[in-house]
Amino acid sequence: MNCSVCGNEVGEQSVATQVFRRHGVIVTVTGIPTVAVCPFCGNAVLDWEVAQQIEDLVQPLFHWSETHTLPKPVITVTFPEAQLLTV
């Protein structure tokens, strides 16, 4: 498989960190299980279902910021890496 960003061959199954910014809220998700990570540019290849689950996870956080008046939070979500390879 080749990286969709830089075209080099991607590496092994690994974990990635993605940062989501919406409505002034910043959500950093670490430990996302990936199909592969490009060793050249760091682009992570995610399984569609995994990407969808991450989206379902962060979406309510962005929705919260739209409906509440507290300052926009900076949120970090961490998946425990030890359990990842069985995903």
Positions touching Zn ion (CB under 5 A) are: 3, 5-6, 38, 40-41, 43
CA atoms within 13 A on the CB side of 50: 22
Bridge partners (DSSP) listed for residue 30: 78
Nearer to Zn ion by C-beta: 40 or 62?
Answer: 40
Task: Supply the DSSP symbol for 66.
Answer: H
Least Cβ distance, residue 77 to Zn ion (angstroms)? 24
Q: Which is nearer to Zn ion, 14 or 65 (CB)?
A: 14
Q: How far is the CB of 40 from Zn ion (least distance, A)?
A: 5
Rounded to a whole number of angstroms, the minimum distance from the CB of residue 5 to Zn ion is 5
Beta carbon nearer to Zn ion, 27 or 37: 37
